[in-house]
Amino acid sequence: MGGMIRFHNTMGGKVEDFVPIEPGHVKLYTCGPTVYDYPHIGNWRAYVFEDLLKRFLLFRGFKVAHVMNITDVDDKTIRGAQAKGVGLDEYTKPFIEAFGRDRDTLAILPADHYPRATAHIPEMVALVRTLLEKGFAYKKEGSVYFAIDRYPAYGRLSKINLEDRRPGARGDADEYEKESVHDFALWKATKPGEPFWEAEIGPGRPGWHVECSAMSARYLGTTFDIHCGGVDNIFPHHENEIAQSEAANGVKLAHYWLHCHHLIVDGEKMSKSKGNFYALADILAKGYEPSDVRYLLLSTHYRRMLNFTFEALDQARTARQRMGNFLGELKDVAGPAEQTASVEPLIEAARAGFVAGLEDDLNIAEALAAVFTLIKNANPLLVRGAVSKDGAAKLAAFFKEIDTVLAIDPKPEVTASGRIDPTLNVRSAELIHTADALTLEIQEKVAARQKARAERDFARADAIRRELLDMGIVLEDTKDGVRWKKAGPPKG
């Protein structure tokens, strides 16, 4: 079933046909949590995107070997443990447990391996030794640094400007800004009060980047198919992973690099000081279902900024419930219909649209649109009683099939009296496009743009159009007025 799968490869910046190294098998590495705090919804956006990717590959019949690291030693975990006056293990344990709990709550398929950095120090030491032996690394004051000058391919992924770097500049921080391209620490000399490991390269502890290079090689081999992360991993983390791995092993680290865009909250960067910082539990405490959150996180294309708002979450819930109520209606179909309409063509069209959408760089808007079109077209048949019990079963089976990818488990919304909530009844008049219901914010922007156009302030009208595009909304001016739709993947 289906055609060629295409993904946007950050390496090269183009959408490419996906061809795995070994036919039928996909080796997938996704950068995992740094367990210095509870995961927040921005983290979950990336993990839900990776889960959609993995589930779609499984749906298409691939076997997927998936590895996700747990970074349990780095600058942040060490700082946190020191501040609390406890050991690293004791400090990271509750965060590792919370990660596993939330992952299961969000119906994210577990990886095959969750290697912990602290359990793979020998692999990291061996990698650093190789880099020293091959001349890509040097020692300085007990630490070992990667010499980016000796690795001419540095910077290909992020396309950073290497000209700005100061020769010989070094940095020990695991995370650093784009402005400061410099040699980075592979192995950090032991400092008072910090955990360290005795090693032939000297007592110390690994840098963050070397952890992923060593553990991906251990579990997936030196070359694998897909490497994922958030856009903020591109530089320096993934750039440095590539440099370490490819310099040491002499082979390409990963064939496809997929990066998911940021999540913002109410149009702003999430931060604890602004009070817009949410862990999954904070949202569930407000009465939402985990699948509402999952639906919202997966329903914006992964390469677009996701603006998390409770309005958007309400819409996600409504969309999911409409699917659920449709399934509830199907259960009510009793016997053979008098004038049975064939539902197979509708199902086939929906499946084709769903698959074609996801094949196109995980164009989830198109995939979901195909599903809601099916509901829209099947609904009048249900109302007329033209769907047989067999037809209803086939429709229900289709939803079960696609839920292996979406994993939102749509269920009818029942009221206290045990009836399907009539306000969400799929037979009600304004049924379907609630998946794309306009938020108040979008409505206001569309109106403001109309006003600007009426006032011939085209610069302002254009600016609003661009703002909407940033929110993933495309406007089309037709002779019947303005239409809008959810944007697919960004071009290029």
Binding residues for Zn ion, rule: CB under 5 A, are 31, 212
Distance between CA atoms of residues 352 and 127, nearest Å: 46
Nearer to Zn ion, 31 or 199 (CB): 31
Nearer to Zn ion, 95 or 398 (CB): 95
Cβ 254 to Zn ion shortest distance, Å: 11
Burial tier of 264 (Cβ tally within 10 Å: 0-12, 13-18, 19+): middle
Amino acid at 227: H
Cα angle 183-189-193, degrees, rounded to a multiple of 5: 130
Nearer to Zn ion, 31 or 364 (CB): 31
Cβ 59 to Zn ion shortest distance, Å: 26
Amino acid at 115: P
What DSSP string describes 109-140?
A: PPPSB--BGGG-HHHHHHHHHHHHHTTSEEEE
CB count within 10 Å of CB 305 equals 15
Nearer to Zn ion, 212 or 337 (CB): 212
DSSP H helices in 310-428: 310-332, 344-359, 364-383, 389-406
Cβ 108 to Zn ion shortest distance, Å: 18
Cβ 233 to Zn ion shortest distance, Å: 6
Amino acid at 191: K
Contact 228, 50 (CB under 8 A): yes
Helix (H) or strand (E) holding 3: none
Distance between CA atoms of residues 76 and 82, nearest Å: 10
Cβ 188 to Zn ion shortest distance, Å: 17
- In Å, how far are 48, 246, 435 from 442, measured between CA atoms? 25, 46, 14
* DSSP summary character for residue 10: T
Cβ 187 to Zn ion shortest distance, Å: 17
Nearer to Zn ion, 67 or 473 (CB): 67
Cβ 212 to Zn ion shortest distance, Å: 3
Nearer to Zn ion, 31 or 435 (CB): 31
Cβ 211 to Zn ion shortest distance, Å: 7
Nearer to Zn ion, 212 or 370 (CB): 212
Q: Where are the beta strands (DSSP E) in 69-200?
A: 137-140, 143-146, 170-171, 183-189
Nearer to Zn ion, 158 or 291 (CB): 158
